[in-house]
């Protein structure tokens, strides 16, 4: 029952033309939201002008977003990308009270957080996205920090995406952010949206639909949680509290996830506490090399497909 509450397979949260929706109507959920949809030419999806700030993230494909807010009406083209494993994408931040329509072709995510505070809308080009190569050795991964406090002036939202090469571990060491300890830890709900695909060096016979990774959560003093799941494209894990990680890319398959975070603290900050039993692992990275498969870019994905 615990896993059924906090982990959802692709399509289980289908609603109103969206493949998946997490929002304030989701039991036990209040600070974050996400919407995932497949759009084909000629279709559009509407975003109501609610007390929500949002970031529109092309997963696969390109989109046009018409958005109306307190500054007027704008139309923004999102060039997008051919795959979530093709490096960063351009994204669009929409302030609270914005209505919008999304048109195009492909798969799109909309990250959300309830707020009445208004910030300026902003287009962030892929070339502007801070790309962080985090960890070392088998814990090497690539992080796109387009929606973090250092990159975006948002009211509540903290959003990033992570690419983990096949056989590597990310969201590791296991960590938590469910207590307000100024300067040390912040309270943040977190959503993980996953995709997986055969690695760039996978055999031509590799089945994309079979691609998978693993993801775990476990209890902290803030609450009981226990998720141990095979994750595939379209799956969503909710982390209301507790230690979370690792997210592991299975041999032969790369793993992607989009993280959406927000919480009740007065400061918008991502501050974490490692599980003390595993915190020593960070020091073990000293002297190890970064995984040479990083960074993932559009060019590197094409090169891998041709090898």
Q: Is the backbone peptide bond immediately before 295 cis, with ω within 30 degrees of 0?
A: yes
Write down the pLDDT at residue 2.
Answer: 53
Please choose, from the candidates 192, 172, 119, 184, the residue with its C-alpha nearest in 3D space to the C-alpha of residue 285.
172
- Taking CA atoms, 26 is separated from 20, 29, 253, 293, in Å, by 11, 5, 31, 38
Give residue 237's pLDDT: 98
Contact partners, residue 305, CB within 8 Å, separation at least 6: 200
Give 252's DSSP letter: T
**Residue 240: how many other CB atoms lie within 10 Å:** 19
Which 3 state secondary structure label does DSSP give 123? strand
pLDDT of residue 304: 46
CA dihedral 30, 231, 61, 306 (to 10 degrees): 160
Taking only the tens place, the pLDDT of each residue in 143-186 is 999 999 999 999 999 999 999 999 999 999 999 999 999 999 99
pLDDT of residue 305: 43
The tally of domains found in the chain comes to 1
- Which parts of the chain have pLDDT scores under 70? 1-4, 300-307
Q: Residue 17: which domain range?
A: 2-306
Most distant CA pair in the chain, distance: 53
Residues recorded for the chain: 307
Burial of 68 (0-12, 13-18, 19+ CB in 10 A): middle
The token pair that represents 146 in the structure block: 């387009």
Q: Three-state DSSP class for 128?
A: helix
> What CATH number should be reported for the domain holding residue 125?
2.60.120.10
């Amino acid at each position: 029952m615990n896993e059924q509450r906090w982990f959802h397979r692709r399509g289980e949260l289908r609603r109103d033309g969206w493949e998946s929706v997490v929002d304030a109507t989701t039991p036990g959920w209040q600070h974050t939201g996400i919407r995932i949809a497949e759009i084909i030419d000629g279709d559009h999806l509407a975003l109501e002008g609610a007390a929500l700030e949002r970031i529109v993230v092309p997963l696969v494909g390109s989109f046009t977003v018409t958005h109306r807010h307190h500054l007027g009406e704008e139309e923004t083209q999102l060039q997008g990308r051919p795959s979530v494993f093709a490096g960063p994408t351009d994204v669009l931040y929409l302030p609270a009270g914005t209505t919008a329509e999304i048109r195009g072709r492909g798969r799109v995510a909309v990250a959300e957080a309830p707020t009445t505070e208004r910030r300026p809308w902003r287009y962030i080009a892929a070339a502007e996205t801070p790309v962080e190569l985090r960890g070392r050795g088998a814990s090497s991964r690539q992080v796109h920090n387009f929606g973090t406090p250092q990159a975006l002036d948002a009211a509540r939202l903290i959003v990033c995406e992570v690419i983990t090469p096949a056989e590597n571990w990310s969201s590791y060491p296991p960590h938590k952010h469910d207590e307000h300890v100024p300067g040390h830890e912040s309270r943040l709900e977190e959503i993980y949206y996953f995709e997986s695909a055969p690695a760039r060096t996978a055999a031509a016979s590799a089945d994309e639909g079979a691609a998978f990774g693993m993801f775990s959560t476990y209890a902290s003093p803030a609450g009981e949680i226990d998720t141990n799941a095979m994750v595939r494209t379209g799956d969503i894990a909710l982390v209301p509290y507790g230690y979370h990680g690792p997210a592991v890319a299975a041999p032969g398959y790369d793993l992607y996830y989009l993280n959406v975070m927000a919480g009740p603290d007065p400061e918008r900050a991502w501050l974490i506490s490692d599980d003390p039993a595993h915190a020593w692992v960070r020091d073990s990275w000293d002297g190890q090399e970064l995984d040479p498969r990083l960074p993932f870019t559009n060019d590197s994905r094409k090169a891998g497909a041709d090898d």
